[in-house]
Amino acid sequence: MSDAYRQLVQQISEIGQLESVEAILDWDQETYMPPRGVHARAEQLSLLARLIHDRRSDAVVGDLLGQMNGAGGDPIRETNIRETRRIYDRSVKVPSNLIGRIAKISTHAKSAWGEARRDNKFGHFAPHLKELVELKREVADHIGYEQERYDALLDEFEPGARTADVAVVFSRLRDALRQFVAELRDAPKQPDTSILKRHYPQEKQAEFAHMLVEAIGFSFDKGRIDVSTHPFCSGTSPCDVRLTTRYDEKFFSMAIFGTLHEAGHGLYEQGLGNEHMFTPMGSATSLGIHESQSRLWENIVGRSRAFWEYFYKNAQSMFGPSLADVSLDSFVGAINAVHPSLIRVEADEVTYNLHIILRFELERALLDGRLDVDDIPEAWNAKMEELLGIRPGTDTLGCLQDIHWSMGTFGYFPTYALGNLYASQFYAKAETAIPDLADRIRRGDFATLLDWLRENIHHHGRRYRADKLVEIVTGESLSVEPFLSYLRNKFSPIYGLT
């Protein structure tokens, strides 16, 4: 290892360590911090944000990158150099006072968003959102883009992805999903979801969810689960992965599938190389790939009939009277029921992507000036009507439902839908590689699948961009077909379609 490369790794590891400190402070704020700790925490987090930005754009990093002439064919080195350069280039292009202004305005925007939701008045939030859109346009212009502003923002979360390519994929997805939703609506069999709204005591849900995530391979020596308002997965390293969840005693699915979802993220984090801790080589590829892992375990595995053939007896003994009279088929139907609904985070796996496409289309229009902030509520409602056939009665149930825009986060939403597509592509490949995969799941063997994911996805860290990784693993580029055939195979028996 050359001296300069060694120094570069030292620099990027320290940035990674600062980021992990930030992650733990955030985690603590969402889980255990007493409410009045917020002012001290805001100071700590703001200092850390500045330190991290300064370190990322430090001239020392620039100098060291300048001394790197090739990676000598070493993929680890190549990955660390390429990704450090990418983050350095993005960071130096954006003036720190712009970063500071966005951080400050989004603190106010977040509280205005909360008030706007409470009073159902988009007008409380609109002036802040206008400022944020304006500033994010500036950010995009500083970073630069080939085709459209949105590219520069999307690239932060899904490196290398192009807006125009995503739009093509989403347009095919939108048409196919709308048609499939209509087919399911008119299908001969309709699941009864009322059984999920019986009484499910919180401590039993916690015990059951813990058992499920341990069974799929999440290690509690290297992770834990706590409670927060909005579930997430965080931590410092593959040996310290923090999941959070939330409970509703009158709804079976929220904690159980929410925990499986976060555990899918957690399995990815625990599967990253310990030896590359705090460097790009030891980090996840993109948010889309991250989401593919959570969606794979939550939906493709966790809501499958095979999974519940193994666990349903346990569920029945755990929840006693609430499931005693419910057959396995009725249960599998209920946890997979498809209904167009207003709230994204409560959406089923068929309609979910339509919620994402709506946000993607509005964000793209906002960034390139085709949509004014004041016109968002009407544009939102019209798109809901067009895509899902329902119209929110209030903005709180419509354009004010997500926190993302109040944090100045644009370009993040598409990664959720990309995750669903990647998940189906990976899973189809896993089924070919492990021909008796469904039988293994039926017997409670999840290790074979997890090993396959570790070897083919987790283990690579950030070595490949998402599109490249998908090609290497599956032999195909990003495609909606595996997702659509997965949906058809799964939902046809549940809905009695031929």
Residue 294 or 401: which CB sits closer to Co ion? 294
> Which is closer to Co ion, CB of 231 or CB of 333?
231
**Please, which residue, 11 or 292, has the CB nearer to Co ion?**
292
Marked catalytic residue, from 30, 83, 158, 262: 262
- What character string, x for contact with Co ion (CB under 5 A) and - otherwise, covers 281-300? ----------x--x------
Catalytic residue flag (residue 115) = no
Whole-number CA gyration radius for the chain: 23
CB of 265 to Co ion, least distance (A): 6
C-beta of 294 vs 424, nearer to Co ion:
294
Cβ closest to Co ion, residue 238 vs residue 288: 288
Ranges within 131-150 binding Co ion (CB under 5 A): none
Q: Are 348 and 206 in contact (CB under 8 A)?
A: no
Are 482 and 172 within 8 A, CB to CB?
no
**Ordered alpha helix ranges (H), 305-393:** 305-319, 321-324, 328-335, 352-367, 376-388
Kindly tell me which of 232 and 310 has the beta carbon lying closer to Co ion. Answer: 232
Least separation in angstroms between residue 75's CB and Co ion is: 28
Provide the token pair at 438.
Answer: 């469904």
Q: What angle do CA 256, 260, 266 make, to 5 degrees?
A: 145
Q: In the complex, what is the shortest distance from the CB of residue 152 to Co ion, in angstroms, rounded to a whole number?
A: 23
The answer to whether the CB of 42 falls within 8 A of the CB of 107 is yes
| Shortest Å, Cβ 291 to Co ion | 5
CA atoms 90, 137, 154, 223: torsion sign: positive
Please choose, from the candidates 447, 31, 453, the residue with its C-alpha nearest in 3D space to the C-alpha of residue 269: 453
CB of 298 to Co ion, least distance (A): 8
Per-residue binding letters, 249-288, with Co ion (x by CB under 5 A): ----------------------------------------
**Residue 171 contacts by C-beta under 8 Å, 6 or more apart in sequence?**
none
Size of the site for Co ion (CB under 5 A): 2
Residues within window 221-240 making contact with Co ion, judged by CB under 5 A = none
Inter-residue contact 193 to 334 (CB < 8 Å): yes
**H or E stretch at 145:** none
Whole-number Å distance between alpha carbons of 415 and 288: 4
The distance of closest approach from Cβ of residue 54 to Co ion in the complex, given in angstroms and rounded to an integer, is 30
Query: Which CA distances in Å does 196 have to 64, 247, 259, 269, 321?
Result: 57, 13, 16, 31, 12
Name which of 294 and 406 has its Cβ closer to Co ion: 294
- Smallest gap from Cβ 257 to Co ion, in A, equals 11
Query: How far apart are the two ends of the chain, measured CA to CA in Å?
Result: 61
**Chain residue whose CB lies nearest Co ion:** 294
Question: With contact defined as beta carbons under 8 Å apart, do 330 and 192 qualify?
Answer: yes
80 binds Co ion (CB under 5 A): no
Point out which residues bind Co ion (CB under 5 A).
291, 294
Active site residues: 262
